[in-house]
Chain A
Amino acid sequence: MKLVGFFLGEEEYAADILKIREIKLMQEITKVPKAPPFVEGVINLRGDIVPIINLCRKLNLPEHPPTEESKIIVVELEDQLVGIIVDEVSEVIEMDEANVSPPPQVIGGIEREYIKGVGKLGERLLILLDLDKILTAEEKSQVAGTVS
C-alpha cells in the first residue's frame, strides 16, 4: 500500500495515496464568512473553486502558523475536491499492510474513528488517517447551520 507522509506539528501522519489528487504550495486563501471554523476558505484550482480545510483545527490539534513548508493536499471526496493544509509533506511511503497495527484508544487527542491504524517504518511511527471519515463525519450537522 502506498501512502503519502506528512507532518502536523511534530507528529508524522500518512494517508492513502489513491485519495490524493495533487499537492500544492501554500497560497492565498479567500475566507468564506460564516463557514464552519475549520474551513480556512477557498482557492482557485485551475478554474474550480476548492474549499480548504485546516486539518489541525479539524482534529483539535495545536495549530501552527503556516511556514514555507506548508502545503495543501488536494483530496477527492465524493466527486468534489477538497484541500487540506498540512505543515510539511515528507515523502511517498511504501508500506506493508502487515506493519500496520490497529489504532490505540486515543492518539494525541485524535478520535479513534479517524485513524486507520499505526504504521511502523523502521524507527518511524506513522499515524494513518482516514481522510474520508475525517472530512465526512458529522460535518453534516456542523455545516447544516450555515448551508442554505
Chain B
Amino acid sequence: MDIDLSEYLDEYFAELNDQLDELQQLLLECEELGHCPSDKLNNIFRIAHTIKGSAATMGFVEISEIAHAFEDLLHRVRDGALEVDDDIFKLFLEAYDLIKHLATAKQEGSQEPMETAPLVEKLRNPTGKETTRPARGRGKKRRKPRSETDSEDSVKRRLSQIAEEDGGKKEEGLRAGLSSSRLRRERWYRISMKFPSEMEMRSVRAYLVLTHLQQLGTIHECRPAMEEIENDEFGDTLELIFSTTASREEVENVLEFGEAESVRIVPCKKGTRLESDLARRLEQESGEQMLRRILSGEGAEQSAAAAPGREEAGDDESRSSMEEKRRDGKEERAAGDDTGAGRNIPRDKRLIEVLDEEEYNIVVESLNQDLNVFEVDITFRDTSKRSVNRALTIVNYLADMSRIILSIPTKKELERDRFDGTLRILIATEKEVEQLRELTVAEEISYSSFTGLTIEGLELTALESGRQAGPDKKRTGGTAGHEQRRRRSLFDERRSAIPTVRVPVERLDNLMNLVGELVIKKTQLNQLYTQFTSDGDVEELVSGLEEVMQGLDRITSDLQAGIMKVRMVQIGQVFYRFTRLVRDLSKSLGKEVEFIIDGADTELDKTVIDQIGDPLMHLIRNSLDHGIEPPEVRRKLGKPEKGFLLLRAQHAGDHIIVETADDGAGIDVEKIRRKIVEKGLLDRASAAKLPPQEVMEYIFTPGFSTSDEVSTLSGRGVGMDVVKETIERLQGDIQIKSEPHVGTTVQIKLPLTLAIIQGLLVEVCGEIFTIPLTTVKETIKLDESAIHTINNQKVIRSRDEVIPLLYLYEYFELPYSGNRKFFVVFVGVDDNKVGLVVDKLIGRREIVIKSLNKRFASVRGFAGGTVLGDGTVSLILDIPVLVQQSKENYLASRKLPISQPAVPSPPPPPAPPQPPQLGNDSSGS
C-alpha cells in the first residue's frame, strides 16, 4: 500500500496554493457581499473539500483536519443551520490562514507537529453553545433540492473520509458509504478508465481509485496490477473487474475521483475475467485498422484467431476496403433476414430515413397493427470476433421476439465477420421499450462488448414527417421534425472544467532556447543574403535564398509568438492576492476602502508576473497608509468616506500599463522639497528651483520617506527605491502623478516579455556589446567640439540639454584601441539620459537574452548575454545601472565646489581621452 508520494509534492503544493488563492478570493467576495450566495458557497465548499481530500492523500493530517472541520462548518451554513455573520467570516478566514500557514510550513519541509485542535474545535462549535459535535448535514433533509453537485459532494466527503482512515475515521466513513446504498446484492462490473496521457500523477490517481474501490467492494482482477501501479509502471489505461454491493452510482462517483478522460463501467457476469492479451491488443486497434490488417493478410495468426470467417473472402476482396465490400454486397442482397445487406448508411442518419419502399411499408403496416417499431443502435467497443458474436447473439435475440425490418450489418454479414463496430436494427415488436432494453442489456448479452446503446421508438407521426421531408435515399440528414440523433454512450457525460495546463518553467525555457537558436539561424541567413547580393551574380541563388529567408522569418515569428503565449500568465493571479491585504490593512488602519481590480485578465510574461507582486504591494500599502485618509478627515474634506483604490492593468502597444490609483491625500511636493534639503541631497536654493515632476523623482531615492511618523506598514523609506529598481530590472518604467487632496496615480509601464528584444549592436575596442533598443533615444557621431568638462565629468550639449558622457572603454577598462572616431548612443531611463561613447555602431538585431553565470560572469553593468549570428557571445549592457552610475557621478560633480569656471571649458584634447577620471571609484561595488 506504500507509494512514494514525495515526488508529487511539488505538484500538490502548486495545486494547493492555487486552491488557497481561489478560496481566499471567494471568502473575501462573500464578506464584501455580507452573505454567501449559493454558487460561491458551493465553490468554497468544493475547494475545502478538495484540500481535505488531497491533504489526506499526501499524509498532511493537520491540513486535512482543518479542512474537514471547515467543511463541516460550511455544511451547516449551507443547510441553513448557521447564519453567516462577521464572526463566521472571521472564522472562515482563520481557517484559511491556518491552512495556508500549514501549507507553507509543510512546503518548507517542516516536520513539526502543529497545533490545530483549538481552531478545529472552534470551527466545529463556532457559537460556543453546543457541547456535542454538531450533527453533520448529510443525513438531514436539505432545505432545497440539490442537483449533482450535492451528491457529488457527499460522495467526495465519503471518499476523503476513507482517505482519512489513518485518522481513525474509517468506520464512520464506511458506514456513511454503505448506509446510503439500498442495494445489498453483489454486482459485478467491468471497469476501464483512460487517463489523459499528459496528466500528472496518473499512477497516484489510479492507485487512489483502486484503494477507494477496495473500500467499496472487491477488485478481482486489475490491469496493470496494483504493484505495478505502485511502482509507477502505468500507461494511461486502467482495467479491472470489480464486485460490490454498493450502488452503481457510488461506484461511478468513486471512479470520478480519478478524473479520468473516459470511464467505462459495464455490468458483467460473476466470475468474469479480463480479456486475454490478444483480445486486448485487438481492442486497442480501431475497427478500421484491424479490418485493414486482417483483410490485407497481415498478422495472419491473430486475424485467424480473431476472424475465422476471413477464409470466405476471396483474395481480391481481401485487399479491398470495407466500403468496397459493402458496395459489392449490394448485388448479393437477398430477402428475409438478410435485408439491408451492404447498405452503407451515414451515422448521422436514422434508419427510418433510408428505408426503401418495401421496408417503409412494413414499418407503416406494423405501426398500424399497434406494434412498436424501434430503432436499436448498439456501438461495440471493437470489432473483435467476440464482439461479432455478441452482435450475432443480439440479432438472434431480437429476431426471436420481433420482426427485423432492417439490420445493418445483416445477420449474414455478421456471420461473415463484416462488422464495423456498430449494429443498427429496425424492428417491429409487441414489446415495450423497457422490456426491450432489459432484454438487450440482460446480463447474458450486455457483457462488456458495447459502449453505447440507444433504443428509439417510432411513432407514425414522426415517421410521416420524416418521410415527407424527403422520401428517397438522396435526402440530406437533419431535416425538420427530427431531433438530431445523439449517440449516447452509457457513461460519457463527464463534468467538464476549463482545461488548463501547468507547464514547468524549465520546459518553457527549453523551448525558449530553441526559439533563440532559430532566431540565430535567421540572422545567419540574413548575413549570407547580404554577402550574395553584394557579389551581384548568382541571381537565382539570391532569389532562392530570399524565399527561404521569408519562410524562416515567418516561422520564427510565429514560433516566437506561440511560445510567448505559452509563457503568458494573467495578472489577476497577482492582483487578487491583494484583496486580502487591502481588507486587513484598511481595517487595521480604521479606513474604509473600496478596492477595484480592473483588467485582471491582462496577460504578461511569467517572469514579469513573478516579480511584479512586491512592487505593487509597496504601492498599495503606500496608498492605504499615506494616501487614503481616515473617514473623519475625508468627511471634513467633503470626500466620500469610503476611499477608492484602483488596481488596473491594460495594454498599450507592446507594453502593459499597470497602475494603482487612489483618491487620497496626494503627495505634497513642498514636503518633499523640505526633505530633500533636510537630507542634504540639494541645497535650499536648487531644491526650490526643481520642477515638481523632478521633485517627485526623489521619492525613489533610497532612504527617502515623507511620512512623519513611521508606521509598521510603510513609511520607513524602504520601498519606493526598491519598487523603482525592480521595475527597471524588468525593463519597465514608473511614473507618479499626484495632486494634493485629489489622489495619487502610479503608472508602471512593462514590456510584454523579457526574453526576446531588439538590440543595438555597438563595438568598443573590438568587443561587440548590445544595448536594448528600448532604452536608446538617439545616436550621433561624436563631435569633439561639443564636449565640455565639468569637474572632470565630460558632458555633451545636445538640444539644449547637458548630458553626461560615459566612455565605455574607460568604464569597462578595455585597452584603448587607438580609435579617434567615436559615436554617442544616448540612452535614457525615465528622464535621465547618458551618452555612451562607442567606437562603432553595427546595427540593430533581434536578440535573445541569456543570463550570465552568477558566480563567474555576473558583473555590474551587464544585464546578460546574447548569441550573435556567428555564434559568438555579446554582452548586453545594463542601461539602468549605467545611467544611475553616471547620474550619481554627474550629481556629485555638480555638488562639488566649482573650481573651474562652469562655462564650457575649451574642447578637450582630441582622443585618447584620459583614462578613468570619472570619479567612479564606487563603480566596482
Contact = CB atoms under 8 A, between A and B. Distances in A.
Interface stretch (A18-26, A39-47, A66-74, A99-107): A39-47
A73 B449 CA distance: 62
Given A30-B767, A30-B873, A34-B924, A147 B853 contact: no
B759 interface: no
B859 A32 contact: yes
Contacts, number: 103
Nearest to B520: A47
B620 interface: no
Interface in B865-893: 865, 867, 871-875, 878, 881
A85 interface: no
Contacts of B513: 47-48
Contacts of A49: 850-853, 857, 864-865, 867, 873
A139 B859 contact: no
Given A33-B814, A148-B860, A143 B872 contact: no
Interface string B821-860: 0000000000000000000000000000011111111111
Interface in B442-498: none
A91 B850 CA distance: 33
Nearest to A139: B855
A139 B857 CA distance: 12
Interface in A89-148: 135-136, 139, 143, 145-148
Contact of A51 (B812, B853, B871, B924): B853
Nearest to A30: B873
Nearest to A78: B855
A44 B513 CA distance: 12
Contacts of A143: 855-856, 858
A31 B853 CA distance: 14
Contact of B871 (A44, A53, A147): A44
A34 B860 contact: yes
Nearest to B769: A33
A35 interface: yes
A111 B184 CA distance: 80
Given A32-B875, A42-B873, A44-B867, A148 B856 contact: no
A54 to B, nearest CB: 11
A146 B850 contact: no
A143 B513 CA distance: 28
Contact of A33 (B812, B852, B855, B878): B812
Contacts of A145: 924-925
B921 to A, nearest CB: 12
B853 A80 contact: yes
Interface of A is mostly: mixed
A146 B516 contact: no
Nearest to B768: A30
For this complex, into which size category does the number of interface residues on chain B fall?
20 to 34
A10 interface: no
B517 A47 contact: yes
A33 B853 CA distance: 14
A107 B881 CA distance: 43
A49 to B, nearest CB: 4
B857 A34 contact: no
B767 A31 contact: yes
A148 to B, nearest CB: 4
A48 B377 CA distance: 60
Contacts of B856: 35-36, 39, 51, 53, 82, 139, 143
Contact of A147 (B516, B851, B858): B858
B173 interface: no
A143 B924 CA distance: 11
Nearest to A140: B855
Given A28-B872, A34-B813, A47 B516 contact: yes
Contacts of B855: 51, 77-78, 80, 82, 135-136, 139, 143
A139 B614 CA distance: 31
Given A44-B867, A49-B853, A34 B812 contact: yes
A118 B865 CA distance: 39
Chain A CB within 10 A, most for which of B857, B871, B874, B881: B857
Contacts of B859: 32-35, 146-148
A50 interface: yes
Contacts of A80: 853-855
B862 interface: yes
A11 B890 CA distance: 52
A143 B862 CA distance: 15
A49 B204 CA distance: 39
A124 B891 CA distance: 63
Given A34-B860, A148-B860, A42 B854 contact: no
A126 to B, nearest CB: 26
Contacts of B851: 49
Contacts of A81: 853
Chain A CB within 10 A, most for which of B854, B856, B860: B856
B762 to A, nearest CB: 14
Nearest to B874: A30
Chain B CB within 10 A, most for which of A39, A42, A46, A143: A42
A82 B857 CA distance: 10
Given A31-B767, A36-B856, A51-B853, A148 B881 contact: yes
Nearest to B858: A147
Contacts of A43: 872-873
A146 B857 CA distance: 9
B177 interface: no
B804 interface: no
B853 A82 contact: yes
Nearest to A32: B857
B861 interface: yes
B854 A147 contact: yes
Chain B CB within 10 A, most for which of A33, A35, A51, A81: A33
Contact of B852 (A31, A44, A51, A78): A51
A48 B871 CA distance: 11
A128 to B, nearest CB: 23
Interface string A48-63: 1111010000000000
A21 to B, nearest CB: 14
A76 to B, nearest CB: 12
Contacts of A78: 855
B514 to A, nearest CB: 8
Contacts of B516: 47
A128 B812 CA distance: 37
A36 B812 CA distance: 13
A84 to B, nearest CB: 11
B850 A47 contact: yes
A30 B872 contact: yes
A139 B858 CA distance: 12
B857 A51 contact: yes
Nearest to B863: A148
Contacts of B852: 32, 42, 49, 51
Nearest to B516: A47
A77 B856 CA distance: 11
9 contacts: A32-B857, A33-B767, A41-B873, A42-B853, A49-B850, A49-B864, A80-B855, A143-B856, A147-B854
Interface of A: 28, 30-36, 39, 41-44, 46-51, 53, 77-78, 80-82, 135-136, 139, 143, 145-148
Interface of B: 513-514, 516-517, 767, 812-814, 850-862, 864-865, 867, 871-875, 878, 881, 924-925
In the complex, the 6 A-B pairs of residues with the closest C-beta atoms, listed nearest first = A33-B812, A51-B856, A148-B860, A30-B873, A51-B857, A49-B865
